[in-house]
A and B are shown apart, each in its own frame.
Chain A
């Protein structure tokens, strides 16, 4: 997602994420894009934690996709890790612009069934957000890279280096 679009998207996602957290009774929720960029979070106390979980979740998402490909099981719907005290739920939200990854951590106040149930409702709400309806020319990976390369090229152009 392009930097200029991010504040608008972050604001739009706050309501659906808050509703999900309240209904599903999860302790922590994080919404990131495939590169690990955070677009919504609830329950984290430090930005360090957010960055750690975001990067690990993006890696787990990529690994799960690769595993699904290698084993020919097709796409996967969610990843669930049941710990002794807390459980982790990781799933992909499909949007017209780019897939988003939800990471939710919950304990005995909730359950896998509740998280799955309200994740389904979150997916519907997010997919319907007007802010995510437009497929921005710079929202996909290829155009992002093109924009980035163009930006770098501009930054290192002779005129820029001379400060002109």
Chain B
């Protein structure tokens, strides 16, 4: 299963503008697999992205918007995209000057692949 996750991250990280990506447990906020630059803390990104995703999902449910699929955070130096994948989340760190649509599309595909890999591995 971890090979499948690594393959997903490798593919996602090759998308132009994607600086790094990781897969984390949505509830625990703990990284499962990561492909990040050395100066980026996977533990910190996983914890904060999972918290952001969970809280936004709660807000979406409160607003009767249904299940949350993705969260897009735009910051001065780039973007953080988080996609839900069942019990997991996929996070992509994206440079500021990037075709965000392409990166988002690849992130959604990555989340789908991660969800399928997790379901296949489930007992």
Contact = CB atoms under 8 A, between A and B. Distances in A.
Interface of A: 108, 110-114, 116-117
Contacts of A108: 27, 54
Contacts of B50: 111, 113-114
Contacts of A111: 27-30, 47, 50-51, 54
B106 interface: no
A120 B48 CA distance: 14
Given A111-B50, A111-B51, A117 B28 contact: no
A-B pairs, top 9 by smallest CB distance, nearest first, are A113-B29, A113-B47, A111-B29, A117-B47, A112-B28, A114-B47, A113-B30, A111-B28, A113-B46
B35 interface: no
Contacts of A114: 29, 47-48, 50-51
A108 B28 CA distance: 9
Given A113-B51, A114-B47, A117-B47, 4 more contacts: A108-B27, A111-B27, A114-B50, A116-B30
B44 interface: yes
Contacts of A110: 51
B111 interface: no
A80 to B, nearest CB: 9
Contacts of B29: 111-114
Point out which of A111, A113, A114 has the most chain B C-beta atoms below 10 A from its C-beta.
A113
Interface string B13-52: 0000000000011011111000000000001101110110
B48 A117 contact: yes
A112 to B, nearest CB: 4
Interface in B80-111: none
Contacts of B47: 111, 113-114, 116-117
Contacts of B43: 113, 116-117
A20 to B, nearest CB: 14
B65 to A, nearest CB: 20
Nearest to A24: B47
A57 to B, nearest CB: 21
Interface in B37-78: 43-44, 46-48, 50-51, 54
